[in-house]
Amino acid sequence: MAERFQLTVNGVESELEASSDTALLYALRNDLGLKGTRFGCGSGQCGACFVLIDGYPAPACDTPLWAAAGKRITTVEGLGKGGELHPLQHAFLTEQAAQCGYCTSGILISAAALLARNPRPTESDVRAALDRNLCRCGSHNRMVRAVLRAAFEIAP
């Protein structure tokens, strides 16, 4: 049976009609057209589908709509403001931190959560924050450098 859900995604309120156990990932991609959040493992283990829910990284693939309703959701599309890239997005481009790019949106989300709570992280802090995100291309060192570059740009 379909229910109505109020979602605030990237600052925009939307009302969706879906089953309460529908994964947030499917609502974002199929109903709201936000394709940056990727399907990876489907069990919340790889990080490709991470979004911020009230400021904390969470797997959209196994977060049901009922659990996301009424909370602030930020996808990779919502990181930048006013058409400008977020410093993390800019740093990832500068450091060439994405190889295939499949995991990048989830990693950007995890990094954004880290910088929001710790604007001057150490390399160890960055590695710990990205630990839940899998990158099969082996780009982690470039990603760590990009996060540290963004941190310096945000809080020199």
State the Cα–Cα distance between residues 26 and 82, nearest whole angstrom: 26
Is residue 9 within 8 Å of residue 28, measured between CB atoms? yes
Q: What is the pLDDT of residue 132?
A: 94
Domain boundaries, the chain: 3-78, 87-154
CATH of 87-154 given 3.20.20.410, 1.10.150.120, 3.40.50.1260, 1.20.140.10? 1.10.150.120
Residue 57 — φ and ψ, nearest 5°?
-65, 135
Tens digits of pLDDT across the chain (156 residues): 799 999 999 999 999 999 989 999 999 999 999 999 999 999 999 999 999 999 999 999 999 999 999 999 999 999 999 999 999 999 999 999 998 889 999 999 999 999 999 999 999 999 999 999 998 888 999 999 999 999 999 987
Place of tokens 């990205």: 130
Half-sphere exposure of residue 68: CA atoms within 13 angstroms, side-chain side: 40
Q: What is the pLDDT of residue 93?
A: 96
In the DSSP assignment, the letter for residue 27 is I
State the Cα–Cα distance between residues 115 and 54, nearest whole angstrom: 15
Q: What is the pLDDT of residue 155?
A: 85
State the Cα–Cα distance between residues 6 and 28, nearest whole angstrom: 13
The CATH T-level fold of domain 3-78 is Ubiquitin-like (UB roll) (3.10.20)
Q: What is the pLDDT of residue 32?
A: 97
In the DSSP assignment, the letter for residue 136 is T
Half-sphere exposure of residue 155: CA atoms within 13 angstroms, side-chain side: 11
Can you tell me whether residue 18 is helix, strand or coil? strand
Q: What is the pLDDT of residue 1?
A: 78
User: Residue type for 25, please?
Assistant: L
* pTM score: 0.95
